[in-house]
Amino acid sequence: MVISLISELKRRSVFKVGVVYLAAAWLLLQVVATVAPILELPAWFERGVLLLLAIGFPVALILAWAFELTPSGVQRDDGAEKSSAAGRRPLDYVVVATLALALVYFAADKFLFSADDGDVPPGASVAVLPFTNLSQDPSNAPFVDGIHNDLLTQLFRIRSLRTIPRTSVLRYRDSTKSISEIAADLEVAAILEAGVQRSGDRIRINAQLVDAATEKTVWADSYDEQLTAKDVFEIQGAIARSIAAELQAVLTPDDQRRLDAIPTRNIDALETYFVGRKMLEDRTLESLEAAIEYFETVVEIDPEFALAWSGIADGYMLLPEYSATVDREMVDERALAAVTRALALDPDLPEVRATQAWYELRMYDWKKAEGIFRDALAVAPDNTNVLHWLSHVLAWQGNYAEAVTLARHAVEVEPESKIMRTNLAYILIDARQYDEALEIGNRLRREAPAYFTLQRNIFLHELRAGRFRLAARTFVDYSIAIGGDAAAARAIGDMFIAYGERGEVGSLTDELITLTKLGSEDLAQVLAFIGDAEATIAALQVAAPEHSGSRSVFSMKINPAYDFIRDDPRFQALLEQVGLAD
């Protein structure tokens, strides 16, 4: 019986059709996987194709049983025995052709395409430990850290080399762990150690590359040069090339060009820029104001320093996030002037492009901002600044799947970064994955209790997740941390609880807003969470044309806080105004 069934399946070419179907399906899935990222197809598209192919497989087998392919076309199989030369030969040709195509694709993918796809060669991975300040002068620390950071930037731009980001290696400053232990932690093949000594008008850098497995030095060199910006950049380029050569990473012409670049030739401008960048990363109102001053000093020294102009724009665009009173019109004017200057000087720098995209986002040009971010990501796929902001652009438009993927990748690149982990929590909240988001936020809060940005995000996250009593307590903690009045903050917290649990609409007075230092970045969301529809719409109508209130305005399309006013024509007009209407 079984033998008879197998014979009949063979006679009806069911096995051949199955082989052809599976081979053709595999080919189609490879093509879809290749073109989907290029055409920016949604993540469900590939899953949909796979599901359809799975459904089609048994259908193809049934059709193979019922019909046959003949020189005269497709005909119903009447069960009669055919000669081997008749009826089945066209299907044999189809089998051979399909398998040949699959074999050709497999060989081309393995032996031709893989050489140029930018993958990291085996062993081409490095961690650059924080540089040692050999001069023992604490005032040189920002300069030494700046050189370390710039070398990492150079290495990150080598696509065939995996480099561990700065925030992940900082914890190994003065570590007692061995090289092999650090390398195992970071999963790299080699560790670079270096010391920087600055004396008068000279700089000396000693560097060595250590094999992680043997802890033997595979390359070492010393650089003793005049203390000029040109020499500093040339030393960094030389070290980067040596690392790439030892780890057999391929330097493309673009890599070579970037390594040869000299952003500034003025050492004073470079040192001041290093300090400004550190201030920008600290993310407080005071540090942002200081960063802008440092960057403005840099461009007075060297007006051709594109990265400093980009830093000025970044600083101004961040100010509204940390100040309730900053002049929004002034911010827009100065940010535009700075980013325009940076683009005129070096439009290809990923940092400059990210700043430009961020500005376009604040002007509500979503399509242009996303396009610029994607272009920058193509050049620097591990640039966390780009990953950070592009994830926001996508999430605020409702593209949660890709937004979460990018935010997770940013954390993979910089797992120790508070900013990137906070951003992941924010994106997960947008995607309504509340439990994981709050877990990340609370873990960060335990690690960095003074991190004000996180505290602000957490109370908003808790409100969206319906944890009203937790949000009330977190809001009080946040308001006190930024100098607000505790009693006023508790009054607003009570309104969160009253509306969230009992539907009682609150009323937020100007006095409460002032006392709690509640800025326009959060005002509309807070008003929404106490159920005041008229005040919420009024706050959004003020914030939207001022390009302020990024958390309140940019999230309008997807923020559940606004669901109770979503059908209001005024709210729909606001969505249209900021480019978020369907």
* pLDDT tens figures, 79-128: 555 544 444 455 555 555 665 565 555 555 544 444 333 344 446 889 99
Q: What is the pLDDT of residues 459-476, one digit of tens each?
A: 889 999 999 999 999 999
User: Which of 529 and 383 is assigned the larger pLDDT?
Assistant: 529
- Give yes or no for residue 75 having a pLDDT over 70: no
> What mean pLDDT, rounded, does the chain reach?
84
E strands present in 379-519: none
Q: How far apart are CA 283 and CA 281, in angstroms?
A: 5
Share of the chain above pLDDT 90, in %: 43
Single out the residue of 283, 333, 330, 274 nearest to residue 305, CA to CA: 274
Question: How confident is the model at residue 38, as a pLDDT?
Answer: 44
Label the pairing between strands 217-226 and 73-76: unpaired
Mean pLDDT (whole number) for 529-555: 91
E strands present in 202-323: 202-211, 217-226
Question: How confident is the model at residue 91, as a pLDDT?
Answer: 53
- DSSP H/E element including 316: helix 306-322
Q: Are 65 and 14 in contact (CB under 8 A)?
A: yes
For the ranges 166-170, 187-191, 331-335, 361-365, the lowest mean pLDDT is seen at: 166-170
Q: Are 314 and 338 in contact (CB under 8 A)?
A: no
Q: Binning pLDDT at 50, 70 and 90, where does residue 482 land?
A: confident
Residue type, 20: V
Mean pLDDT (whole number) for 576-580: 95
Q: How many CB atoms lie within 10 A of CB 78?
A: 7
Q: How far apart are CA 205 and CA 237, in angstroms?
A: 13
Q: Are 424 and 457 in contact (CB under 8 A)?
A: no
Single out the residue of 207, 167, 169, 208 nearest to residue 188, CA to CA: 169
DSSP 8-state code for residue 251 = P
Q: How many CB atoms lie within 10 A of CB 575?
A: 17
Share of the chain above pLDDT 70, in %: 83
Question: How confident is the model at residue 130, as a pLDDT?
Answer: 92
Q: How far apart are CA 129 and CA 183, in angstroms?
A: 10
- Give yes or no for residue 60 having a pLDDT over 80: no
3-state secondary structure of 220: strand
Single out the residue of 263, 474, 228 nearest to residue 349, CA to CA: 263
Q: How far apart are CA 439 and CA 461, in angstroms?
A: 11
Q: How far apart are CA 256 and CA 259, in angstroms?
A: 5
- DSSP H/E element including 199: strand 190-199
- Give yes or no for residue 40 having a pLDDT over 60: no
Mean pLDDT (whole number) for 148-157: 85
Provide, for the chain, the percentages of residues in helix, strand and coil under a 3-state DSSP scheme, each rounded to the nearest 5: 65, 10, 25
- Give yes or no for residue 243 having a pLDDT over 80: yes
